[in-house]
Chain A
Amino acid sequence: MKRFTFQIDAYQAQWMLSPIRSKKDVIYLLMQSLKIMLLPRVTTPGVVGEMTLQVEKMSRLIFAFEKKIFSINFPFTAIEDNNALIFRSNHHPKIDSKVASEVLSVIAKSDKFENKEILHFADPISDCCQFDDDFWSLFRELLMFEDGYIRYDHDESRSNGHLHPIHHFDVFYSSGNTFKLGSANGVSREQFVDVLNLNTNCHFVSPIN
Chain B
Amino acid sequence: MSSFFYLQVEKNQKNHKLIDSVSTHCEQNKIQAYLIDHPLGDTKYTYEYKDALVLLIPKHKITFIRFSESTQKFEDYVDDFIEDLGSISDKYRYKNSIGRPKSWREDLTTTIYHEEIVDFESFLASIKIENTNRQRVCELLISLLTGSINDIDKVGVETPTTLLDQVKQKILLFDGDQTRFVYQQPTKSTVIIQGLSGTGKTELLLHKLKEIYLAFPECKIAFTCHNKILADSLRRRIPEFFDFMKVEQQIQWDERLWCTHAWGSLSDPNSGIYRYICEKYQIPFERYSRYMSFDQACKLALAHLEKNPPKEHAFDFCLIDESQDFPASFFDLCKKATNSTLYIAGDVFQSIFDENITFSIEPDYLLTKCYRTDPKTLMFAHSLGMGLFEPKKLRWLEDPEWAACGYIVKKDESNGTYELSREPLRRFEDVDRKDLPSVIISKTSDPFIQGASDQILYCINQIRRENDTVTPDDIGVILLDSNETAFSLGSMLEIRVPREIGWKVNVAYETKRKIRDHLFLSNKNNVKGLEFPFVICVTSQIRSSYSYRNSVYMTLTRSFIQTYFVVSENNNLKILPSIESGLADINKSGRIHVKAPTGDEKKKISATIKYSAESESFYDMAHRIFEELNVLPIYRENLLDVAKKIFAEDYEYERLYEVIEFNYKAMSED
Residues of A within 8 A of B (CB): 9, 11-12, 35-36, 38-40, 42, 44-46, 96-98, 100-101, 104-105, 108-111, 117, 119-120, 131
Contact = CB atoms under 8 A, between A and B. Distances in A.
6 contacts: A40-B450, A96-B487, A100-B487, A105-B511, A108-B511, A108-B513
B568 to A, nearest CB: 17
A85 B24 CA distance: 69
A7 B364 CA distance: 61
A11 B499 contact: yes
Contacts of B267: 117
A100 B265 CA distance: 31
B232 A39 contact: no
B315 to A, nearest CB: 24
Given A39-B492, A101-B487, A131 B509 contact: no
A40 B486 CA distance: 14
Given A39-B488, A105-B509, 5 more contacts: A35-B491, A96-B488, A105-B511, A110-B512, A111-B229
B512 A108 contact: yes
B648 interface: yes
A97 B484 contact: yes
Interface of B: 228-229, 232, 265, 267, 288, 449-450, 482-484, 486-488, 490-492, 494-496, 498-499, 504, 507, 509-513, 644, 648-649
Given A36-B491, A39-B491, A9 B499 contact: yes
Contacts of B504: 11
B499 A38 contact: no
Contacts, number: 69
A108 B510 contact: yes
Nearest to A44: B499
A117 B486 CA distance: 32
**Smallest CB-CB A-B distances: 6 pairs:** A11-B498, A97-B487, A104-B510, A35-B491, A98-B487, A97-B488
A10 to B, nearest CB: 9
B495 A36 contact: yes
A40 B449 contact: yes
A101 B265 contact: no
Nearest to B447: A40
A16 to B, nearest CB: 12
Contacts of B486: 98
A13 to B, nearest CB: 11
Contacts of B265: 117
B interface secondary structure, majority? helix
A45 B504 CA distance: 17
B491 A110 contact: no
A170 B569 CA distance: 52
Contacts of A44: 499
Contacts of B511: 105, 108-109
A6 to B, nearest CB: 11
A73 B296 CA distance: 48
B32 to A, nearest CB: 41
Given A11-B499, A40-B450, A101-B509, A35 B494 contact: yes
A97 B491 contact: yes
Nearest to A28: B510
Nearest to B489: A97
A9 B496 CA distance: 10
Contacts of B496: 42
A44 B482 CA distance: 28
Contacts of A100: 487
A131 B495 contact: no
B513 A110 contact: yes
Nearest to B647: A131
Contacts of A117: 265, 267
A131 B488 contact: no
A101 B510 contact: yes
Nearest to A8: B495
A108 B507 CA distance: 11
B498 A96 contact: no
Contacts of B484: 96-98
A12 B494 CA distance: 9
B521 to A, nearest CB: 11
A71 B449 CA distance: 30
Contacts of A9: 495, 498-499
A23 B483 CA distance: 28
A63 to B, nearest CB: 16
Q: Which of A44, A45, A105 has the most CB of B within 10 A?
A: A105
B510 A105 contact: yes
Nearest to B498: A11
Contacts of B228: 111, 120
A108 B522 CA distance: 15
B646 to A, nearest CB: 11
A120 B229 CA distance: 11
A94 to B, nearest CB: 9
Given A101-B510, A104-B510, A39 B288 contact: no
A42 B492 CA distance: 10
A131 B487 contact: no
A36 B496 CA distance: 11
Contacts of B232: 111
Nearest to B511: A108
